[in-house]
Amino acid sequence: MYNLAYGSLRSYEIKLPKKIVFGIGSLDKLGLEAKTLTEGRSTLIVTDENIARIGIASRVERILLDEGFKIEIFDKVESEPSIDTAEAISRYARSARFDLVIGVGGGSVMDMAKIASIASTNPKPVRNYIGINLVEKPGLPHILIPTTAGTGSEATDIAVVTLPEDEVKSSVISPYLLPDTALIDPSLTYTLPPRITASTGLDAISHALEALMSVNSNLITDILALEALKLAYIYLPEAYSSPNPENRYYMSLAALLAGIALCNAGVCLGHALAYTFAVKYRVPHGVSCGLTLPYAFEYNSISIDRKIPCIAKSMGVEVEGRSIKELSKTIKDNLLKLLEKLGIPTKLRQLGIERNDIPTLASKLLSLERLLKRNPRTVTIYEALEIIEEMW
């Protein structure tokens, strides 16, 4: 069972939020958690207009007001936030002397809360911090509260921004982005519509499976990723078609575990493929990663052969007496069936992408070196063309 990670006897470190608070009703603990992080009371809540409209942001505000906090709200975060939004929230965070930042929303909101935290103590434009370990100083204490189940941003050191001029996404990556407290209350996901449930849930599955494929994986990330994959594969279809507290609970747990695996092992080919078209064609992150995952797994499967039986078991596949090749095909087929069950496209042409765009997408794929260097199998231009041709 545990003969999973290549070089599993090597040493490694695990990055985590300083504290994780998980469970139904855990939002009620927010006031106490906030008071443990700062003696000051000036708080910036980062959210979006939808979270504000449905009343979750006001719940957070009331809890903090009851504890004596002074609140300002920034609710102008859009889905897949651009670098302009990141710069805007940075200016807002620097305009006052905040003591605490709280992000309540999906992955985009939580990423922007991370940006607000570091912007308060680091004076350069956000664009200067795009890359790995370029943030110079710790940011303000921050608490992240997810309202979706999938992105795992509450457990990562990454903030993703869209660069519209390059039609690509990039990231600020720094240990200073890890939250002081990740507060996960699955009840906040109860009203998620099916479309968002599917998209964000597929993000969790992609994080888990790509972390397993990553060359930076280790025994701990493998165990976390396998459990996340098992939970999400079981409970995502249920949460999509017949949501209830149980499947929402386990999807929130899957997202958290997959987020920790992502933070420490990283993602690879699946996300790289998704980044080649998601911005230009305005495809939601989870949808693009879900579409590319079966094809990325198929390509990488020959390089992760001893992990295949464990992955298959996590997806409920019988492994006894079956070859690695047979198991790999079944895993890919089951991923495609899952996409169909969730109403997610399985081919690029379904997104309106033209076949003559394939060479451009292949060239863009090879430019995403940060992601491809974690891939267990090298990708050349010829292989990139073959993979994308099959996806089309």
- Mind listing the pLDDT tens digit for each residue in 130-158? 999 999 999 999 999 999 999 999 999 99
φ, ψ of residue 151 to 5 degrees: the values are -70, -30
Selection from 190, 153, 148 nearest residue 172 by Cα: 153
Domain ranges of the chain: 26-184, 194-391
**Is residue 84 pLDDT above 90, yes or no?**
yes
pLDDT band for 2, please (50, 70, 90 cuts): very low
What pLDDT does residue 166 have?
82
Same topology between domain 26-184 and domain 194-391: no
Q: What is the residue type of 250?
A: Y
Q: Nearest Cα to 364, choosing from 289, 279, 297, 277?
A: 277
pLDDT tier, 12 (very low <50, low <70, confident <90, very high otherwise): confident
Percent of the chain with pLDDT over 90: 95
Strand order in the sheet with 100-105: 19-22, 181-184, 142-146, 100-105, 42-46, 70-74
Q: What is the mean pLDDT of the chain?
A: 96
Is the four-CA dihedral 27, 29, 32, 37 of positive or negative sign? negative
pLDDT tens digits, residue range 117-129? Answer: 999 999 999 999 9
Strand-pairing partners, residue 183, are 21
Asked if residue 182 has pLDDT above 50, the reply is yes
26-184, CATH topology level: Rossmann fold (3.40.50)
Whether pLDDT at 339 is above 50: yes
**Structure-token pair, residue 334:** 């089951």
Q: 194-391 belongs to which homologous superfamily?
A: Dehydroquinate synthase-like - alpha domain (1.20.1090.10)
265-313: pLDDT as tens digits: 999 999 999 999 999 999 999 999 999 999 999 999 999 999 999 999 9
Percent of the chain predicted with pLDDT > 70:
98
Q: What is the mean pLDDT of residues 195-202?
A: 98
Confidence of residue 7 (pLDDT cuts 50, 70, 90): low
Residue 5: per-residue pLDDT: 53
